[in-house]
Amino acid sequence: MTWISLRIEARDNTAESISDALMELGALSATIEDANAETPDEQPIFGEPGDPPPGVWQQNIVSALFNDDVDIAGVMTALGDETGLQSLPYSTEQIAEQDWVRATQSQFDPIRIRDDLWIVPTWHEAPNPGALNIILDPGLAFGTGSHPTTHLCLAWLADHVTPGITVLDYGCGSGILAIAAKKLGAVRVIGTDIDAQAIDASHYNASQNGVEAEFYLPGDMAPNQLRDEPADLVVANILSSALSVLAPALAAACKAGGKIALSGILREQADQVSGIYAEWFDMQPPVFMESWVLLTGTRKCV
């Protein structure tokens, strides 16, 4: 069996209407992708919880999958009638039947953080069995180890977690940082996230790795728990805007003399975020990876 993939070039203000119209015209699926993905012009887009959707990229590719007997010319004509958009640039490709699970898995190899720390999907053998290997499959929550911000945080944890300490993972996503901290010897690890799906993913991934960590939605934690039980290490890999707003809370959640690591920060945002946290922390020089930054500091004694 084969399918036809239709790819249409679209601007940011037309991509969603094109995608919706293609589904109404019989597409089996429709997705919106950054037309400049994996190029220097790739555009990060973000949205804060509770805010309106951040939109899509300025230059997009809308991809739709159809049965192989589709009349593409007819689809494009109907799409123009439906949306009022005429002469949209497009291309088609024939997609052959294949083992989709295997094809998806082939995109995810073990990720080396450093020689003694790897992220390994369940369908792979660990490249270095003697290393600290975190078993993690790509899922619905952020944090597979492939993103530079996750990589930066994992490397920092490997350098700073010592047996017996406590760690707070704020914005735990997949739980990858909390799991790493536990495997590195932390006696207690707490992860929190505003997304219930992330909490579920974190519990599952911790179980897969044979470690025990605590994961909570903010509303499920005891009042003032983070302030009353400050951690030796605090790590937060979330958006820079959220980091800026949360600075007093994250500072309160870190013991005097404890350490903090912040990522999710673009290079051009580093000075602003570092300046905010300097009220509570002695900040260290930033560490860069691609366009992303890791900021770290030591909690001032008061």
Percent of all residues in the chain with a pLDDT value above 90, rounded to a whole number = 63
Residues 6+ apart with CB under 8 A from 241: 48
Q: pLDDT tens digits, residue range 174-196?
A: 999 999 999 999 999 999 999 99
pLDDT at 120 over 70: yes
pTM over 0.85: no
Pairs from 272-275 (Cβ < 8 Å, separation ≥ 24): 272/240, 272/244, 273/240, 273/243, 273/244
Mean pLDDT of the chain: 87
Q: Where are the domains of the chain?
A: 2-97, 146-299
- The CATH classification number of 2-97 equals 3.30.70.120
Q: φ, ψ for residue 200 (rounded to 5)?
A: -60, -45
Q: What is the pLDDT at residue 52?
A: 43
Q: What is the pLDDT at residue 51?
A: 43
Q: Higher model confidence: residue 146 or residue 91?
A: 91
Cβ proximity of 284 and 62 under 8 Å: no
Mean pLDDT of 283-292: 94
Residue indicated by tokens 């994250």: 250
pLDDT at 168 over 60: yes
Q: pLDDT tens digits, residue range 235-275?
A: 999 989 999 999 999 999 999 999 999 999 999 999 999 99
Query: In degrees to the nearest 10, what's the CA dihedral of 22, 108, 57, 152?
Result: 160
- CA nearest neighbour of 190 among 147, 143, 222: 222
Cα 38 from Cα 290, distance rounded (Å): 12
Cα 94 from Cα 227, distance rounded (Å): 57
Q: What is the pLDDT at residue 42?
A: 67
Cβ proximity of 143 and 169 under 8 Å: no
- CA nearest neighbour of 137 among 114, 160, 109: 109
Query: Per CATH, which fold does 146-299 belong to?
Result: Rossmann fold (3.40.50)
Q: pLDDT tens digits, residue range 212-223?
A: 999 999 888 877
Exposure string of 55-92, with b = 16+ CB inside 10 Å and e = fewer, is ebbebbbbbbbbeeebeeeebbebbeeebebeeeebee
Cα 290 from Cα 104, distance rounded (Å): 25
